[in-house]
Amino acid sequence: MVPETAYVVGLIATDGNLSGNGRAVSITSKDLDLLETVRACLDLRTRISPVKGGYGTTCYRVQWSDRRFYGGLVGIGLTPAKSLTLGPLVIPNECFVDFFRGCVDRDGTVLVYIDRYHTRTGTKYVYERLYVSLVSASRPFLEWIQATAHRLVGVSGTINTKRNRDRRPISILRYAKAESIRVIGWMYYAPEVPCLARKRANAEAFLSPLGRALVRHVGRPRVGWLYNVAP
């Protein structure tokens, strides 16, 4: 498996569709550039078609038939009814980062927001926070991703499960603070990696840390610094 394929597999694993005919695969997204990236990664010639999304919005879909590719997806652990069966997949260590990035681009979030008030101390300040998260109806799938990322990168993250409006359990894997900075540096390991541009843009300010320190800073950590790493 090459990085480009691993990235697309991440997109498919989180929100793609495997038909029941054993050959057709499709991905739907509101981001046209994401589907153009899929076509480039797999060298597809199939067209991207507009489809109606929820609340009258327009989405786009790319669909292709490839029995061998479909068989490869089944071979690593994906199934047509994957939302009910999704668990650990067979992804090579060297491509796991690309798979992870595909998962986040499809069903995750790279969120930067400004925290202007510290409720614990009553101190007012402007603090930029970064979160990287991934949502799934399958907690075992997220637990596998969490364990693999911990083994490869040394980040722990946290998983929380709640119920949606249909009372179905939804789990969220989240990385925050120094771990989120480490995760995005790992995700975007090179400028040209396939990715969703708007999510990378959110992370851009954190891709080049302002500094590093061997020990944790006393008091509020400095924004953009990595701690417990060699300078």
CATH class, domain 3-227, is: alpha beta
DSSP structure class, residue 78: -
The pTM for the full model equals 0.82
pLDDT of residue 218: 44
pLDDT in tens, 177-190: 889 989 999 999 99
**Measured between alpha carbons, how far is 128 from 192 in angstroms, rounded to an integer?**
26
pLDDT of residue 223: 45
**Is residue 134 helix, strand or coil?**
strand
Q: Is 58 exposed, middle or buried (0-12, 13-18, 19+ CB in 10 A)?
A: exposed
pLDDT of residue 126: 52
The pLDDT tens digits along the chain (231 residues) read 899 999 999 999 998 899 888 899 999 999 999 999 999 999 999 999 998 876 778 899 999 999 999 999 999 999 887 666 789 999 999 999 999 999 999 999 998 876 655 555 555 555 567 889 999 989 999 999 999 999 999 999 999 998 877 778 889 999 998 899 899 999 999 989 999 999 998 888 788 754 444 444 444 444 444 544 554
Structure tokens at 49: 């078609």
pLDDT of residue 33: 93
pLDDT of residue 158: 95
Structure tokens at 97: 């980062």
Q: Which of 103, 78, 94, 80 is nearest to 1 (CA)?
A: 94
pLDDT of residue 206: 81
